[in-house]
């Protein structure tokens, strides 16, 4: 298991290759990369705040759950904080499992939990001012399908 | 003494990221009431608890949770990671 919460940019391709090479018995490796999206146009930067200490613990707990629940051979979570620009990679998740379905499901599980259970908050800075990104009901509802809070 | 942390717009509204609070509050809700009675900026931040989450010693919790033995309380809006 590997969890990294860091302001530094990361190379998703290199991270994925390193992760895949470290797996044993994985027939499937899945990765997801989240990118800063300029939703309304005019986004200058995205500021990501987090709760040092709790963030790492919360992510480690969800990764532990995923490893167990989906029988993963490994999982990787990288999440940036600090100031990012449009099109910058924010985070990535990689999962490896003997079979494809488990690897895909585990990646979705981790994404759903990272969205609303890891203590990160996004603030958008545009030419018109700044605003905190509001959470969405659908993000909370996405957790229902995993049967947990 | 308890460490109280604020994040995102809660931090901005209250005007500080962290403070040590001397309190005899039995629950999170009692602590919120004490803080809200201090100054308008606290009352404004805590006006709608349904818009807030609380963590006790870095674990998500509830406003009716007891504070006995808790060293760190954090208040923040719903998370927007990923």
In a domain, B71, yes or no: yes
Could you list the residue range(s) of the whole structural domain that residue A9 is in?
2-146
- At residue B32's C-alpha, the angle toward residues A81 and B28, to 5°, is 85
In a domain, B63, yes or no: yes
pLDDT tens-digit map of B25-55: 999 999 999 999 999 999 999 999 999 999 9
CATH number of the domain encompassing residue B48:
3.10.20.30
Mean pLDDT in residue range A132-144: 90
pLDDT tens-digit map of B50-75: 999 999 999 999 999 999 999 999 99
CATH number of the domain encompassing residue A48:
3.90.1170.40
Percentage of chain B beyond pLDDT 70 is 100
Mean model confidence pLDDT for chain A: 95
What is the tally of structural domains in chain A?
1
What is the per-residue pLDDT for A40? 78
Comparing CB atoms, the residue among A50, A90, A116 nearest residue B78 is: A116
CB contact under 8 Å between B7 and A119, yes or no, is yes
CB contact under 8 Å between B74 and A51, yes or no, is yes
* Contact status, residue B2 vs residue B23, Cβ threshold 8 Å: yes
In a domain, B16, yes or no: yes
CB contact under 8 Å between A120 and B82, yes or no, is yes
Q: From the CA atom positions of chain B, what is the Rg in Å? A: 12
What is the per-residue pLDDT for A149? 60
Could you list the residue range(s) of the whole structural domain that residue B19 is in?
2-76
- Please report the sign of the dihedral spanned by the C-alpha atoms of residue A8, residue A14, residue A16, residue A22: negative
In the three-class reduction of DSSP (H, G, I as helix; E, B as strand; rest coil), residue A90 is classed as strand
* Contact status, residue A80 vs residue A55, Cβ threshold 8 Å: no
What is the per-residue pLDDT for A147? 87
Q: What is the complex's ipTM, to 2 decimals?
A: 0.95
pLDDT tens-digit map of A7-20: 999 999 999 999 99
What is the tally of structural domains in chain B?
1
- Predicted confidence band of residue B20 (pLDDT cuts 50, 70, 90): very high
Calpha distance A146→A138 (Å, rounded):
14
How many CB atoms lie under 10 A from the CB of residue B2? 16
């Amino acid at each position: 298991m590997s969890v990294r919460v860091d302001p530094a940019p990361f190379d998703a391709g290199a991270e994925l290759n390193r992760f895949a090479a470290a797996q044993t018995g994985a027939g499937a490796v899945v990765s997801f990369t989240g990118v800063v999206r300029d939703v309304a146009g005019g986004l200058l930067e995205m500021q990501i705040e987090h709760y040092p200490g709790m963030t790492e613990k919360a992510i480690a707990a969800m990764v532990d759950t995923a490893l167990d629940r989906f029988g993963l051979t490994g999982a990787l979570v990288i999440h940036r904080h600090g100031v990012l620009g449009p099109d910058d990679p924010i985070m990535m998740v990689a999962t490896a499992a003997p079979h494809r379905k488990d690897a895909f499901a585990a990646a979705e599980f981790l994404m759903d939990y990272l969205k609303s259970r890891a203590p990160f908050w996004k603030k958008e800075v545009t030419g018109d001012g700044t605003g905190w990104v509001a959470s969405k009901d659908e993000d909370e509802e996405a957790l229902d399908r995993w049967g947990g809070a | 003494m308890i460490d109280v942390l604020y994040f995102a717009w809660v931090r901005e509204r209250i005007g500080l990221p962290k403070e040590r609070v001397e309190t005899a509050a039995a629950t999170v809700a009692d602590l919120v009431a004490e803080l809200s009675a201090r100054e308008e900026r606290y009352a404004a931040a805590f006006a709608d608890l349904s818009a807030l989450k609380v963590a006790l010693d870095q674990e998500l919790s509830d406003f009716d949770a007891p504070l006995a033995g808790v060293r760190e309380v954090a208040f923040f809006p719903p998370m927007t990671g990923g």
